[in-house]
Amino acid sequence: MAATRPSKVSASRHRETFAAWGMASPALAGLLLFILLPFALAIGLSLTNYRFNSPLPTRWIGWENYVRMFADTGFQRALLNNLYFAAVVVPLQTALALGLALLVNRPLKRMVFFRTVFFMPVIYPMALVSVVWALLLAPGQTGMVNQFLHTISFGAWNPATDFLRHPLLAMPAIMLMSIWQGVGYQMVILLAGLQAIPQELYEAAAIDRAGRWHQFWHVTLPQMRNTILFVIMVTTILAFRLFDQVWILTQGGPQDATTTVMFESFVAARERNQVGLGAAMSVVFFAIVCLVALAQHFFVRQERQVK
């Protein structure tokens, strides 16, 4: 009997392991086929001078594309624009999403309606949202944003301002549109985190005569730390993936004010037929995304160790 029990336990563990691998295999296959394999191919292409439909043979050129990329002022400007976009959008969108989550996390009538309204822009494709905002930001009588600013400023704002052709206003206009379109997604994640906080903590804080602000600072934020870090990570990745808005609204202009890493990679591969250079830009972008994910994982792990 003593020899039989370990064998039964071992067989049960083998069955559980086999079942676990079987359930994880679709996700692992997708990870291999759609992320790891394309990334490996991109690394290989980035080390060559490959061009589409070129009669010239493909040559191995090593790190030449990376040297050319970092020396390119267009790529440098694109990387700075990505950092600028992320530095503004990530904190603003996260703060606004947290505010909306706190607002709709109330047991009031018709709160489901407001949650739906705030989330609704997320379900629309970015291409459609970009076209609509191009009409809203248009100069003259047709642009509602210009007319609104002209009205509230009592005529001080010039309604002929072309946001998408202005070097200083084009990127803020894209930021505003991106925040409006994406804040509902972050709101839903933060709302789920808020609803997971035990009510006993708020009751204990109320017994200690803690006001709403102290409850928010000492109960809500500490309990929401990992959720907020996850939202920041996702928003940062999406910020570096900025492409659709730029392609539809500005084409990287004016004066490279809205060009991004993904846009430069696309233009290099498609417009200039420099596939190797575009692949090198994609590899750098993937590395940045991985660094953001690793940083988020590090902070979450540190939090767990503290607890």
At residue 82, the pLDDT reads 92
At residue 178, the pLDDT reads 93
Q: Assess contact for 69 and 280: CB atoms under 8 A.
A: yes
At residue 118, the pLDDT reads 84
Q: Assess contact for 191 and 101: CB atoms under 8 A.
A: yes
Q: How far is the C-alpha of 229 from the C-alpha of 241, rounded, in Å?
A: 18
SS3 call for 258: coil
Phi, psi values for residue 100, rounded to 5°: -65, -40
Phi, psi values for residue 137, rounded to 5°: -90, 5
Number of H helices, E strands in the chain: 15, 0
At residue 1, the pLDDT reads 45
At residue 7, the pLDDT reads 64
Residue type, 240: F
At residue 187, the pLDDT reads 93
Q: How far is the C-alpha of 259 from the C-alpha of 79, rounded, in Å?
A: 9
- The closest alpha carbon to 89, from 234, 304, 262, 280, belongs to 234
At residue 35, the pLDDT reads 82
Q: How far is the C-alpha of 248 from the C-alpha of 244, rounded, in Å?
A: 6
Q: Which domains does the chain have, with CATH numbers?
A: 73-306 (1.10.3720.10)
pTM for the model: 0.85
- The closest alpha carbon to 163, from 187, 130, 204, 120, belongs to 130
Phi, psi values for residue 48, rounded to 5°: -130, 175
At residue 225, the pLDDT reads 87
Residues in Cβ contact with 119 at an 8 Å cutoff, skipping those fewer than 6 apart? 184, 185, 187, 188
Where the chain has pLDDT below 70, the residues are 1-9, 11, 300-307
